[in-house]
Structure 1
Amino acid sequence: MSLILELTGFAFTLCGWVIIGATLSNSYWKVSSIHGSVITTSTLYENLWHSCAEDSIGVSNCRKFDTLLALPAYIQVCRALMITSLTLGVCGTLLTLLGLKSTLLGPSSQSTKTKIAMTGGVIFILGGLSSMVAVSWYAARITAQFFDSFYGGTKYELGYALYLGWAGSLLSIFGGGFLTCSAYNQQDRDQYDYSASERRIYTKPSEIVTSAKDYV
């Protein structure tokens, strides 16, 4: 059961990491709303790197954000969080591969592999939380501007990239949790086996003495 939980968690974390990477490169983080808009012949959409306009025949023109310092603070933080999430995903993948019981990579000691796998699971959880915060913060800004009656700019709705980001974050968090639980259960089992072997070692001399007395 522990091996199945470990492999399931690793598969979840890999899928989550790939989806988070697809979210970062996706252009549809927010899409212009037709609600209350007088311009319906073009669609505006943005992500963390550029803004685009698509006309009625499907031709898109994109413009990259010119400078980093002129961007709103939440976009800069979301960029940093998403890149941090992907970096943690790489580190978590390498550590988990070394700590999996089903692989011959890494140390031969089972207890060491268990600790490495647990560390990889924790890193995946942190990566999932980083992307979750970035996507949720971006979505909160879109929602706040949409329902603000005094906001004079273009109002946007949530793009499907945000839903991908939420899905990838949840997969990464759940997968990391599975890895951590699997490693924790394995660690408890190892400690129980070690304690049982110690009890057997310490009870053998007394058993010998008892049997000797019975013989006499």
Structure 2
Amino acid sequence: MANMGIEILAFILTISGWILISSTLPIDYWKVSSIDGTVITTATFWSNLWKTCVTDSTGVSNCKDFPSMLALEGYIQVCRGLMIAAVCLGFFGAILALVGMKCTKIGGSDRVKARIACLAGLNFLLGGLSSMTACSLYAHRITSEFFDPTFVAQKYELGAALFIGWAGSALCILGGAVFCFSMSEGGTTTTRVGYTYSGAASFLSSRIKPQHEAADVRSSRGKGIPPKQFDKNAYV
């Protein structure tokens, strides 16, 4: 029962993390223009992995999609690939977790279900690490440009999507680790030493032995052989 509760908790953590990671892809604010040192702000620039936008003081936004994938900067391409990989790994991990959990009726024996659950935990771990790497790489680019005194272009600050991605990655990593640990404990089998129960044989022998002794006494009397006499200390 305790192991089942642990795996349900791990499933909730991983699914919550996967939903947060998936929600970061369409979120607009991966980076927002910095207002540090600016007295009057007439426009706010922000962008994500797919487009860059500007919002004026009246609240009207104009967006422009990135024209070519091959013309993108390298870190954006890497972040795209890592985030898509994290979403796919989380999807397959959720399916494997449903099959491998002990509270479900599919998956086969306990040993097979434990292996499937461990594989699901590994998928969530890899997905969380991929998302963590993507968000950290994007944040590193923003901070390096912000603190670079020679960078004269528009500087940006960390957007809300990065914090959501970090939170989802942490949940996936934590839940995947709990999944692997709990399922590995549940899937191990202890080797049992075989014991031979001789109680029934002892009972039967104790019932049969007096009968044989009585038969021997009767046969010895019939042949004129005196029965054996045992001293009182013979069995000491």
TM over 0.5: yes
Please say if 1:50 is aligned against 2:51.
yes
- Residue of structure 1 in register with 2:195 after alignment: 203
Moved more, 142-151 or 56-65: 56-65
Please say if 1:136 is aligned against 2:136.
yes
Give 1:52's aligned amino acid. C
Partner SS, residue 44 of structure 1: strand
Mapped contact 2:146–2:155 kept (Cα < 8 A): yes
Give 1:104's aligned amino acid. K
TM-score, with normalisation over the residues of structure 1?
0.90
Q: Percent identity?
A: 46
Give the direction of change, closer, same or farther, for the CA distance of 1:147–1:214 in structure 2 (3 Å limit): farther
Q: CA deviation at 1:55?
A: 1.0
Q: CA deviation at 1:164?
A: 0.1
Write out aligned runs for 1:77-92 (5 A): 77-92=78-93
Mapped contact 2:42–2:57 kept (Cα < 8 A): yes
- Residue of structure 2 in register with 1:164 after alignment: 164
Give 1:63's aligned amino acid. K
CA distance in 1, matches of 2:204, 2:26: 79
Partner SS, residue 64 of structure 2: strand
CA distance in 2, matches of 1:14, 1:8: 10
Q: Which runs of 5+ in 1 are unaligned?
A: none
Q: Which runs of 5+ in 2 are unaligned?
A: 210-236
CA distance in 2, matches of 1:77, 1:157: 20
Partner SS, residue 196 of structure 2: helix
Write out aligned runs for 1:30-49 (5 A): 30-37=31-38, 40-49=41-50
Give 1:114's aligned amino acid. A
Aligned-pair RMSD on alpha carbons? 1.8
Q: CA deviation at 1:45?
A: 0.4
Please say if 1:59 is aligned against 2:51.
no
TM-score, with normalisation over the residues of structure 2?
0.83
Give 1:148's aligned amino acid. D
Q: CA deviation at 1:56?
A: 1.2
CA distance in 2, matches of 1:145, 1:99: 46
Partner SS, residue 157 of structure 1: strand
CA distance in 1, matches of 2:181, 2:88: 23
CA distance in 2, matches of 1:53, 1:62: 6
Higher helix share: 1
Give 1:204's aligned amino acid. T
Which has the greater radius of gyration?
2
| More relative contact order, 1 or 2 (CA 8 Å, 6+ apart) | 1
Give 1:128's aligned amino acid. G
CA distance in 2, matches of 1:59, 1:21: 27
